[in-house]
Structure 1
Amino acid sequence: MANLSVITPIEYLKGVGPQKADVLKKELQIFTIGDLLSHYPFRYIDRTQFHKIRQLHPDMIGAQILGRLISIQEIGEKRARRLVGQFRDDTGGIELVWFQSITWLKKSLKVGSAYIIYGKPSEFNGQISITHPEMELFHPQEKKIGNLTMQPVYSSTEKLKKFNLDTRGIQRLQQVALETIFNTLQEPLPPYLLEKHQLMDYAKAMLSIHFPQNTPDLNAAVRRLKFEELFFIQLRLLRNKQLNTQKYKGHRFDKVGDKFNTFFNERLPFPLTNAQKRVVKEIRQDTNTGAQMNRLVQGDVGSGKTVVALMSMLIAIDNGYQACMMAPTEILAQQHFAGIRALLGDELCTVKLLTGSTPIRERRLIHQQLEEGTLDILIGTHALIEDKVKFKNIGFVVIDEQHRFGVEQRAKLWRKNIVPPHMLVMTATPIPRTLAMTMYGDLDISVIDELPAGRKPIKTVHFYENQRLRVFGFMREEIAKGRQIYVVYPLIKESEKMDLLYLEAGLENLQREFPLPQYKISIVHGKMPVKDKDFEMQRFVKGETQIMVATTVIEVGVNVPNASVMIIENAERFGLSQLHQLRGRVGRGAEQSFCILLTTHKLSKEGKTRLETMVRTSDGFEIAEVDLQLRGPGDISGTQQSGVLEMKIANLASDQAILMEARQSVIEIFKEDPSLSSKKNTLLAHYLNQRSPGISWDKIS
């Protein structure tokens, strides 16, 4: 039964009304009383303990002190007018400063009396002071000493503050909401789970998260609400995975035939790594079960995912099915097409490329061959999901850099056959384990964690911009050896807000240092017409230019084995995963490769951490873990679009243990009661029925 009180529209809460409701909806996406209760405090002012004056330092968020007001004095005139009080305890003294309400304060403050004060300590000329402290007379005869609570602090905005919805205003609304519906709050977790995991009950957790009496209560409420959030995410994901194997039948690939064997024995240009062999074996097993495969393959740049995908497509072709591969950009699609054609030769399979640039005559031929079944592998961009593209018998779909496609786009491919094709999704962005379990908890995950033999690790160094001449000298040395160089910029044109060495100015600088005819430079950025971009790319690929000046358009999908140096300008402006992807553009050949990170001297703490991580390691999974710690899950791999990660309180970077506990609990529940039909799981079955009407496209990740 739905908890009707929490779905009551927010405008009907006492003290809200239409205007405040409108701003709450726009600013905080609070539409119901339940949404308000899920707007949790982001920190607490701890009024449960007292500090001594000698313990105060300016890094403290706030401090509560019991002491005596020794004196007050008005200083200065007009705008410089202020009231200064001397406040002492048995360990020392501080200044209290007020710039407002001076006349009223002079009348109301009692010199010589004991006060409990609260405020943020700051330091000026070596003296600790507190500006505009909260003041409360101390009455030793009262049992309750001061405001001994953990006071919640809520995120607000300037628009909300205009409606008196600052942190105190929101706190008042939370109090009214809890007083209104506390007795009707229903427990969403079964009693046996509360007992097994020693969880606080839901109503008490809601009260304690907003108005904690003490630190242990607050910690218990936070743990309970984090567990619940992660538990229900895992329940949805693992139910989808269960449905996938039970409900969605898949094509059975029961043989490995001539095409696969010919390719493996005669065309494969290098031996597979053990990691590649393991993943091919997992895919072979999946596609022979009779259930639809949904597998994510993650592996670092250059780990050989494309060969694994090609061998999987050949298994489909050997079993009488067609295969396709969808890439997010035309450049990447063309590269896959060229690479796969080169690996297969002309005799083994028919392979075609379909993008937005494909001429109409060629497009019609592709459509015809697809429907006749004479085209084995189609590689392309979003053009593959157009309604006009019809396969005779699609059995295997590969999606590269899958996070760049929306759920519905992926679903269109899934619907191109009556029996859904097997889905292999690939990413070159290594994903931390916790994030993978939450984003892709309904998928089977394979990891290619080995680089092909003979690859030398890329040497990464960090230089400041005043070392640029040294970098130019190194570039000349590498070009003299016959190598090629990428120089990547974060912007195309100058930004008024960011003082960056932008691409156009950088190009002029490079043209002076590397003049024609001895040196030739390509330039590529996202604003260029596709034809111009392809022309410049091809010049670099063919070795006609030695330097490629680019924006992050080359982050994915350019493979030039002869390019041995990646220079990233203003590297502090890039995220860790972007830096790692860009570095992966070099190191494709047998020669030693280098990545040079150029920055200003002004680096934030986060910026320093990113650069130190890049210099220290080339392990994509380690880098992804640091990235998760720095940025949180929402920005990594485009996960905001998934809908799965709209978490109110859990944090994947810091709550790994709770996630593991929640996931294991769900696994055990489904193992014991796969259909959730037992009486003790009624609440869980009800939750899934509410949240999952009809088909869930979440499964197609």
Structure 2
Amino acid sequence: MATLTDRLDHLLGRKMADALAEAFDIHTVEDLLRHYPQRYATQGAELGESKPPEGAHITMVATVVKAEVVPFKNRNGKMLRTALESDKQRVDATFFNPQKVAHVIKPGVRAMFSGTAKYFREQLQLTHPSYLILPTGDGEPVIGGRVRGSGELAGMARSAQGADAGVDMEIFDRELIPMYRSTRDVETWAIANSLRQVLDQLDDVPDPLPDAVREDLGLIGLDEALRLVHLPETNDDIDRARERLRFDEAAALQLVLAQRRHAVDERVAPACPPRADGLAAAFDAQLPFTLTDGQLAVAEEISADLSRPHPMNRLLQGEVGSGKTVVALRAMLQAIDAGHQCALLAPTEVLAAQHARSVRQMLGGLAMAGELGAAEHATRVTLVTGSMSVPAKRAALNEAMVGDAGIVIGTHALIQEGVTFFNLGMVVVDEQHRFGVKQRDALRARAREGLSPHVLVMTATPIPRTIAMTVLGDLETSTLRELPRGRSPIVSSVVPAGEKPAWVDRAWQRILEEVADGRQAYVVCSRIGDGDEDDEAGGEPALDLDDFFGGDSGPEPTPRKPARKPKQPKGGDAPQTAAAVAVFDELRSGPLATVRTGLLHGRLPSDEKDAVMRDFTAGLIDVLVCTTVVEVGVDVPNATVMVIVDADRFGVSQLHQLRGRVGRGKHQGLCILVTGMKTGSPPFQRLSAVAGTNDGFELAQLDLAQRREGDVLGAAQSGNVKTLRLLSLLDHEDVIASAREFAQQVVAADPDLTEHPGLASMVTAALDADRIEFLEKS
């Protein structure tokens, strides 16, 4: 018999155990049992009279009633075109390489077929499906010890072959056949066979959830769930098993987060209560504008956190231009009044320099400590970037080390070895999604031994991971939705360049009109140029080659694509992206020849980038052609128009961030999203959704819905890697809420789970050690 902790080599043999370990990091019985089916194939009778949706994977038993070899219409070669009949449906199936299958797939043959549903003139079709020849009477699909078939179905039959070469056909008698995530070396049927062997030997699995909790939530036991998810008889079995296992995932996450919150409450942070006569009060007294009600409310929340002797861990999310920076600055001044230093981490040198200038400007004499004319409670603002000269950087780092600088602003240079603070009490991370967890943790470690600094992270548009973690209840959240008084909403529009070239010309004319009225504009590109084919956009991939090469709806099927994605052609078959360097040259010698144009991108030397940005801020440049170096934090109130070229190359969050650079003054802002995508295409619809709202929180939900959660427990945020197997942070908030309540009760009584070894084991099963460490640091 077997238990959850048993090694697989003892049960399956070393060859299979090593293959599972290499492919999926599966080592124990529990690891294998937690490798849930991705889907379940059904027999042909399941099709009934209804039609499966386009793209659905179907499995059916049918008889071949027609088979003929015909040439392709538009290229060399031939195919085998067949007609299949099941109990209630007729399906057309096409096979490539007819010389290999025509002698097997012929009229009168009964077989099982599996493939992806496709329709042509409302007729259901399968293109090169996998198949398994079945006996017309009693017997097995074997001749001379060989399975007759191809693809996954034949593989499943081979996995069910016994020592006598006979096939255990019971696997195909099941209404629901589990299909697993697999690789070329470890196929789905090999995994299914391994699981059947393990389940046959598995002892009853003890349940870590108390009976009362299961009854209250209507959950089945863990032993039953693990067996049903792999060998269900009905769809209800699948639903009940997934419901239980989904709660296990949520509970494992919430237990780790509850332990993390408990540990944070145990840490010691410098208490920084507000002072009525300090630097913060002096700053408030000299502010030239009145804070919004939202800013005042959020400031009170942050002030209360700073006053506690436990570290603040707060997310400040607000619309672009909602005044997050001034709220963060007031919080930093409160920490300085208590005798501590603050660090502000920015993702780019352009933004770090911008922050340094704006903070010094807002503070005025309050930022001139040690200089003539300094105010009584003045501090010093120091900038640290990687491209600074050695003497300048040495001087800046010395100000941080001896405590002369109350506010230290910098990029990744702040977290390099050798950077020390005299008494770091607060860390502010701007645009937190641009930094990894390890980077933020490295900066927090700069505090004095035994102390944890208060942490405030800011973002204008929460990316999916941030929303997901907020749903999980891991962060305290403050929200600014109210725009400063007098600011007008930005107007956005989408321009389909291929279909409406005149609209692109109108975009350049619109820039000329704004410049003529004394205002400025941005033109943003997704990459730099000079032979650089990589996007700087960094958003979700915009170009799906299937939109251009696949999806033929006619009777002649498109051959299956190779596993490796083909390179994009250099010709006119697919849109080419515009580079900033090339656009800059084209505009200043063409549509914008009459205005002053500048160029800004990430490969310019730091001093040149800063000079260009200063000239643009001062109004010496009318139009700035740039990449995403202006995505966050850049504040030029006189800029009113932004044209984003190849806008489909950018993510939803980036587009919202970018357009937030215009309309920051008293004049209306305009954002023009130029794309080569066709109207009605998914990328165009996504751009239209962005243009349709200025609500960053609505766009964040759209982003999450499109990209899903990604790897919430790891560093990946792209949506392509998924640690959670059954739990969706978007769709299962009720499950998460129940699990959170359960976890809080358990951890309050047993923080280390020493009295709940089953729950501790469940956490380990759901989250590996690296991801647990990641959560603890995040």
Give 2:486's aligned residue: 454
Give the residue type in structure 1 aligned to 2:242: V
Give 2:199's aligned residue: 178
Aligned counterpart in structure 1 of residue 175 of structure 2, from 132, 149, 152 = 149
Alignment partner of 1:274 is 2:293: yes
How far off its partner does 1:524 sit? 1.6
Partner Cα distance (2:21, 2:487) in 1: 54
2:415 touches 2:439 (CA, 8 Å); kept in 1? Answer: yes
Give the residue type in structure 2 aligned to 1:109: V
How far off its partner does 1:520 sit? 1.5
3-state SS of paired residue (1:425): strand
Partner Cα distance (1:692, 1:95) in 2: 50
1:84 touches 1:95 (CA, 8 Å); kept in 2? Answer: yes
> Where do 5+ consecutive residues of structure 1 fail to align?
none
Give 2:41's aligned residue: 45
3-state SS of paired residue (1:565): strand
Give 2:388's aligned residue: 358
How far off its partner does 1:463 sit? 0.9
Give 1:475's aligned residue: 511
User: Closer, same or farther in 2 for the Cα pair 1:432/1:663, shift >3 Å?
Assistant: farther
Partner Cα distance (2:329, 2:106) in 1: 81
Alignment partner of 1:413 is 2:443: yes
Give 2:252's aligned residue: 232
1:72 touches 1:85 (CA, 8 Å); kept in 2? Answer: yes
Partner Cα distance (1:312, 1:589) in 2: 25
Once the two structures are superposed, what CA deviation does each residue of 1:332-361 show, in whole Å capped at 9, x if it has no partner?
A: 111111111111112332222122233433
2:44 touches 2:61 (CA, 8 Å); kept in 1? Answer: no
> Where do 5+ consecutive residues of structure 2 fail to align?
139-169, 366-374, 534-566, 569-574
How far off its partner does 1:26 sit? 5.2
Aligned counterpart in structure 2 of residue 662 of structure 1, from 739, 761, 764 = 739
How far off its partner does 1:637 sit? 13
How far off its partner does 1:305 sit? 1.4
Give 1:527's aligned residue: 603
- The residue correspondences of 1:421-500 to structure 2 (distance < 5 A) are 421-431=453-463, 435-437=467-469, 441-465=473-497, 466=501, 467-493=503-529, 495=533, 497=568, 499-500=576-577
Partner Cα distance (2:408, 2:116) in 1: 64
How far off its partner does 1:699 sit? 4.5
Give the residue type in structure 2 aligned to 1:521: T
Partner Cα distance (1:642, 1:125) in 2: 37
Bigger fraction of residues in helix: 1
Partner Cα distance (1:216, 1:186) in 2: 23
Give 1:326's aligned residue: 345
Once the two structures are superposed, what CA deviation does each residue of 1:97-128 show, in whole Å capped at 9, x if it has no partner?
A: 66444334559737xxxx88766554457654
1:86 touches 1:93 (CA, 8 Å); kept in 2? Answer: yes
Give 1:103's aligned residue: 103
Give 2:357's aligned residue: 338
Partner Cα distance (1:94, 1:377) in 2: 71
Cα RMSD over matched residues? 3.8
- The residue correspondences of 1:623-662 to structure 2 (distance < 5 A) are 623-634=699-710, 640=716, 646-662=723-739
3-state SS of paired residue (1:646): coil
Once the two structures are superposed, what CA deviation does each residue of 1:492-544 show, in whole Å capped at 9, x if it has no partner?
A: 2364736223333322321233455x312111222222222222222212211
1:407 touches 1:642 (CA, 8 Å); kept in 2? Answer: no
Give 2:18's aligned residue: 21
User: Closer, same or farther in 2 for the Cα pair 1:138/1:358, shift >3 Å?
Assistant: same
Alignment partner of 1:87 is 2:85: yes
3-state SS of paired residue (1:375): coil
Partner Cα distance (1:73, 1:225) in 2: 46
Partner Cα distance (1:642, 1:597) in 2: 23
User: Closer, same or farther in 2 for the Cα pair 1:82/1:289, shift >3 Å?
Assistant: closer
User: Closer, same or farther in 2 for the Cα pair 1:152/1:16, shift >3 Å?
Assistant: farther
1:434 touches 1:656 (CA, 8 Å); kept in 2? Answer: no
Once the two structures are superposed, what CA deviation does each residue of 1:414-453 show, in whole Å capped at 9, x if it has no partner?
A: 2321322222222223256983445874332212222211
User: Closer, same or farther in 2 for the Cα pair 1:361/1:97, shift >3 Å?
Assistant: closer
Partner Cα distance (1:393, 1:60) in 2: 60
User: Closer, same or farther in 2 for the Cα pair 1:190/1:92, shift >3 Å?
Assistant: closer
User: Closer, same or farther in 2 for the Cα pair 1:276/1:636, shift >3 Å?
Assistant: farther
Alignment partner of 1:166 is 2:166: no
Alignment partner of 1:579 is 2:655: yes
Aligned counterpart in structure 2 of residue 599 of structure 1, from 675, 680, 696 = 675
How far off its partner does 1:13 sit? 5.2
How far off its partner does 1:473 sit? 1.5
1:503 touches 1:551 (CA, 8 Å); kept in 2? Answer: yes
**9-18 vs 638-647, which moves further:** 638-647
- TM-score when normalising by structure 1: 0.86
Give the fraction of aligned pairs with identical amino acids, expressed as a percent: 34
2:382 touches 2:408 (CA, 8 Å); kept in 1? Answer: yes
Partner Cα distance (1:429, 1:440) in 2: 18
Once the two structures are superposed, what CA deviation does each residue of 1:546-575 show, in whole Å capped at 9, x if it has no partner?
A: 111112222123211111111111111211
User: Closer, same or farther in 2 for the Cα pair 1:360/1:101, shift >3 Å?
Assistant: closer
Once the two structures are superposed, what CA deviation does each residue of 1:1-27 show, in whole Å capped at 9, x if it has no partner?
A: xx9955556565526617x835x5555
